[in-house]
Amino acid sequence: MGIFTDRFIQLKKADKPLFAAPKSVQQQIEILRIAKDGIFENTKNRYSRVYRFADINYVTVSEGDQYEILKQYCKLVNAIDVAFKITIYNKNRNMSQFRQNVLIPDKDDGYDHLRDVYNDIVEERIVAGKQGIEQERFLTVTVERKDYEQAKAFFNTFEGGMQQEFHAIGSKLEPLDAAERLRVLYNFYRIGDEETFSFDFDAYVKSKTDYKNDICGSMIKYSPNDFETDRKICRAVFIRRYPTSLPDTFINEITNVPVHSITSIDIVPVPKDLTTRTLQKKYLGVESDILRQQRVRNKNNDFASDISYGKKVEKKTLEALMDDVRENDQNLFFAGVNMVLIADTREELNSITETIQTIGNKYLCNMEVHHLQQREALNTALPVGVRQVETMRTMLTRDIAALMPFNVQEIYEPTGLCYGTNRISKNLCVADRKKLTNGNAMVFGVPGSGKSFFCKSEMLGVYLQTGDDIIVIDPTLEYFDIAQNLGGVCINLSNYTQNYINPLWLDVNELDLADSKGLIRDKGEFMLGLCEQAMSEMLNSRHKSIIDRCIRKLYLDIAMSKEKYVPVMSDFYDLLMKQPEEEARDIALGLELFVSGSLNIFNHQTNLDVDNRFIVYGIRDLGKELSAIAMLVMLENVRARIARNAEKGRATWLYIDECHVLLGTGEHSGRSEYSGKFLYSLWKKVRKQGGLCTAITQNISDMLQNYTAVTMLANSEFIALLKQANVDSQELSRVAGIPEAQLKYVNGCNSGMGILKHGEVIIPFDARVKKNNIIYDLFNTNLHEKNKQGIKTDDQYS
């Protein structure tokens, strides 16, 4: 667009360096003075500040959502009226520290062989991805002000508006202080020693030392087409020629090349009044040229010929520009894209340069090397706040938006567990549910989708990496194998076993007449659900009052007794029979089968090691009558266990497989409302006690039809959605916050793949594990594969 000259030239004029011929590496760093809050004076009266902003899911959302993001990004760009720079920094990741975070160290506890295989699986994922690179995004804003105070006032006002604009897109904007800004420069100049950076602003002021000595390397040697540091060899390139239209994935494509690089998009807004006046002036000039051209032709008696093609095109272009500026909220900018490519050898650098140029050629972008301007290009690319190369061209707001800096979200928390890899970026998904406001989870997947494999992987990571306890409620005996291999207790409850759990167990030594700890109240709430299950009908108010009365009398008598004892169900039954109301006998009659009848397995004192670190309750063989009651009994036992662990400062991971049975969804609809309420109350209460509940079920569509299940889903910040069928996408988006476009990653996907929601971050993940290792054999539930390998099925635990 060559129609803009005159005053526009001043806007895109390159900055002059502090030193025309620097005598040291320190003099090359374009910083004059620094302030503790991160506002730097680059040259006299020119101040800059750097902000880090978070990535968002752009490539994984629908076209409609991408359009909305582009519109919002256009609004954001238009809102900035000073020169700014967007930097995408593929920085070096300390792989030794990274491996230390994600791999599990040996503990010499008899399970190091499992840790070795687990670490091998994680290592394969590291090698398959670009784990040696960590991507950061920065916004650098530069402004001219008389002094630091005026610059500070500007940035304070600027931050408030920009944080709202970034929040509207789904990102977060945070300013960097002096130490954080210097760390960014340190990460380039001292690549490989990132973890050794240390800077104390107050100590720097007292000592009056030069902070540049601590961040720069020992040398930089410039050549016409590249430059060398004491650690790497680098090359600065830029986009010389742009196509008529550029896809919004271009920046993502060049920054996703797995190499160390710095990509900067420098943008200088043109004042709208200057743009309008210039366009009007140019348009009047074109009209005058056309009129003059027609007069000449008329003078030569040439009345039929039209105006020249060149003037026609120029007029049409100007009219389109004026319409865009006046009606379509388009602003004019000068913009330029620069990259610094970093490699270990010149051969590698040439290969990287060729790759980047090939990508550019694919989109008709001519990417060239900064010849004899490598130093100036480096200072321009770094998020310092200067621009020392003139590679700018005019662009409208929509053209700037095509240089979209967003790609896909990532999950990486050094204290977390590995949940596979991001299917888009190939980076590891390392999440820590304990850091979420609500660490409860739900795992969905049709049979064969890998949901039990996913949960077993998490259990193994918890057991091998932490000291937390694990409890599993297992209706199909799928988790007995992993528990036995980890020294856990497998409790197979049935009519013909001698495994007993006392549902009325309490630490009777903690009882008092005022029930100050709420032990009796909690037990009363539990017994309401148990009695309703036993009676197979809804309780009325008289039933509830009788049950509450008997429970209170049962435990208050124990509290007043000198000889403490733990009651069993027959004690509660006897109390019911002594009550005068006819309803009490109805309740007792409903309980008779489970107290003195053939299903009396819960009318005994507990005879199992319920304090083991890994417990699996198997309820497959209980039968229809006992299964619902067994679920309630075990949940009550689990609640008490979580409370005891909380007093010890220990977390408890609870897994409930096939939880739709307890919630009464789908074919199990019509079950007791108390079972669902009790599970929901457990969902809410255990969070404060360090409990992490996980519900495992098949079809999310059934869950969305149950109010209690929907409420639990809405309060679960960790959701793993594997292969699904017939998903109500709108309801899922409303309840769980998973966009409809993301569901393409669960429709028809392979086993072990799906969507992972961790807090506000949603990513497509791949948790598949290669076969032929002991962990795969331990987790595998495919009967046909087990039979081929000679592995016993879960019937061995019946």
DSSP assignment of 152-184: HHHHHHHHHHHHHHHHHHT--EEE--HHHHHHH
User: Is the pLDDT at 796 greater than 60, yes or no?
Assistant: no
Give pLDDT, residue 670.
Answer: 45
pLDDT digits (tens, 9 = 90+) for 490-525: 888 877 778 888 888 888 888 888 888 888 988 888
Candidate ranges 347-356, 656-665, 699-708, 744-753; pick with highest mean pLDDT: 347-356
User: Is the pLDDT at 781 greater than 80, yes or no?
Assistant: no
Q: Using the 8-state DSSP alphabet, how is residue 720 labeled?
A: E
Average pLDDT, the chain: 87
Lowest mean pLDDT among 209-213, 305-309, 771-775: 305-309
User: Is the pLDDT at 116 greater than 90, yes or no?
Assistant: yes
Distance between first and last Cα of the chain: 79
Give pLDDT, residue 493.
Answer: 81
Measured CA to CA, the distance from residue 452 to residue 458 in angstroms comes to 10
Give the pLDDT band (50/70/90) at residue 792.
very low
Q: For residue 649, is it left (φ>0), alpha (ψ between -120 and 50) or beta?
A: left
Residues 6+ apart with CB under 8 A from 300: none
Which of residues 758 and 662 earns the better pLDDT score?
758
Measured CA to CA, the distance from residue 123 to residue 784 in angstroms comes to 29
334, HSE (Cβ side, Cα atoms, 13 Å): 21
Give the pLDDT band (50/70/90) at residue 688.
confident
Give pLDDT, residue 7.
Answer: 59
Structure tokens at 147: 């002094």
Which of residues 388 and 507 earns the better pLDDT score?
388
Give pLDDT, residue 80.
Answer: 94
Mean pLDDT computed over 750-768: 92
Mean pLDDT computed over 144-158: 96
Of 46, 40, 41, 38, the closest CA to residue 15 belongs to 46
Mean pLDDT computed over 671-692: 75
Lowest mean pLDDT among 71-80, 213-222, 627-636, 766-775: 627-636
Beta strands in 223-303 (DSSP E): 227-229, 233-241, 260-269
Measured CA to CA, the distance from residue 12 to residue 144 in angstroms comes to 15
Give pLDDT, residue 597.
Answer: 85
Per DSSP, the residues of 557-618 read HHHH-SS-----HHHHHHHHHTSSSHHHHHHHHHHHHHHTSTT-TTSS---S-TTSSEEEEE
SS3 635: helix
The strand pairing partners of 263, in sequence order, are 88, 339
Which of residues 131 and 758 earns the better pLDDT score?
758
Residue 793's CB is within 10 A of a number of other CB atoms, namely 13
User: Is the pLDDT at 266 greater than 60, yes or no?
Assistant: yes
Give pLDDT, residue 224.
Answer: 96
Candidate ranges 151-160, 209-218, 474-483, 535-544; pick with highest mean pLDDT: 151-160
User: Is the pLDDT at 669 greater than 70, yes or no?
Assistant: no
Sign of the Cα torsion 570, 572, 574, 577 reads: negative
Lowest mean pLDDT among 57-61, 188-192, 320-324, 526-530: 320-324
Give the pLDDT band (50/70/90) at residue 191.
very high
User: Is the pLDDT at 201 greater than 70, yes or no?
Assistant: yes
Residue with tokens 């204290």: 415
Mean pLDDT computed over 195-204: 90
Helix axes 582-595, 519-535, angle to 10 degrees: 80
Lowest mean pLDDT among 177-181, 377-381, 448-452, 635-639: 635-639
Percent of the chain with pLDDT over 90: 48
Measured CA to CA, the distance from residue 57 to residue 576 in angstroms comes to 59
User: Is the pLDDT at 665 greater than 80, yes or no?
Assistant: no
Mean pLDDT computed over 361-369: 94
Letter for the amino acid at 723? K
User: Is the pLDDT at 320 greater than 70, yes or no?
Assistant: yes
pLDDT digits (tens, 9 = 90+) for 412-464: 999 999 999 999 988 999 999 999 988 899 998 888 888 889 999 999 999 99
